[in-house]
A and B are shown apart, each in its own frame.
Chain A
Amino acid sequence: MTDEKPLIEIERRITGGDFQSAGDVSSELKRILQQIGFPAAFSRRVVIAAYEAEMNVVIHAFRGIFRAWIFPRHIHIEVDDEGPGIPDLELAFQEGYSTAPPHIREMGFGAGYGLSNMKKCSDRLEIDTRVGEGTKVVMDFFLKDS
């Protein structure tokens, strides 16, 4: 992260298994990005990656904290969860690989694109995971000159 002061910082809790509220945090982030006036294409990739990360917590973890720092030309997101962790990160990045249970697949998730899509949408993605403890996802998005 930079020493620059963010325009806005947000910190929200995510509850594992709560499909009623799933997406609320990313929806709020989208509203904030629109209000600030970020270009639609930039906001879209930030919000899609945020939603993938938020859904991962709802689907796989017990609980998590979503934090975002919004700078004029840079967005930094950290999603920290208490959960099962990812035993084989390389495998988890493989498109089509998923450990989501059947009831999640019935909802339309668990096709195994989450991590690779987060990587595609972000400019930097780091994942720190410990089996039996949890996973921390860190993403950065930089607004480039068009």
Chain B
Amino acid sequence: MTLREVREILEAEVLACEDLLDREPRSACGSDLLSDVLAFTKENSLLLTGLTNPQVIRTAEMSDLIGVVFVRGKRPEPATVELAVMKKIPLLATKLPMYEACGRLYMRGLRGCSEVE
């Protein structure tokens, strides 16, 4: 599944790096705890989160994540978007709440971080 398909499935808006939507996440993680993301995600995963501060992008950068989706209509701070553009991390925003956003992607075959090698 590409990020372009993720955008369609989540009816999401693209906030940064529209040119990188051909990327394919190998798994995904839904979390509002960056400590958990750092401890438990796999590289090349997609993060779904309700957090919007720039440390989300730092965490994605350090963990080699390939994109971030902001859920339940949250809008990131301008500094978050700037950092994402600089680090080439695509940002999407959906109005769906966390559970539904994760559920839609999971139903379409995007696995969780603990289910991939």
Contact = CB atoms under 8 A, between A and B. Distances in A.
Interface residues of B, number: 23
A22 B58 CA distance: 8
- Of residues A26, A52, A108, which shows the largest number of chain B Cβ atoms within 10 Å of its Cβ? A108
Contacts of B58: 22-23, 26-27, 51
Contacts of B35: 108-114, 117
Question: Secondary structure at chain B's binding surface: helix, strand, loop or mixed?
Answer: helix
B61 A27 contact: yes
Q: Assign chain A's interface to a size class.
A: 20 to 34
A136 to B, nearest CB: 21
Contact of B56 (A19, A50, A108, A113): A108
Interface of A: 19-20, 22-23, 26-27, 30, 40-41, 44, 47-48, 50-52, 55, 107-114, 116-117, 120
Interface of B: 32-39, 43, 49, 51, 53-56, 58-59, 61-64, 79, 87
